Amino acid sequence: MDELSSLKVISNIAVGYDNIDIDAATRQNIMVTNTPGVLTETTEPDQ
């Protein structure tokens, strides 16, 4: 993040965001998003 001065958003295509340094992103005013529920359909058993 330190080397990407124009970075504004980190969008994580996953349920969680524990692989992103939220404190560092917050200090640099970078928005962090994720996609909760994105894997729900692929992980539910057929009905």
Per-residue b/e over 2-39, b at no fewer than 16 CB within 10 Å?
Answer: eeeeeeeebeeeeeebeebeeeebeeeebeeebeeeee
Does residue 43 contact residue 26 with C-beta atoms inside 8 Å?
Answer: no
Each residue's pLDDT tens digit in the chain (47 positions)? 889 889 999 988 877 788 999 999 999 999 998 887 766 666 667 65
Note the pLDDT of residue 15: 73
Note the pLDDT of residue 38: 66
Record the pTM.
0.68
Note the pLDDT of residue 13: 80
Note the pLDDT of residue 40: 64
Break the chain into its structural domains and give their ranges.
Answer: 9-43
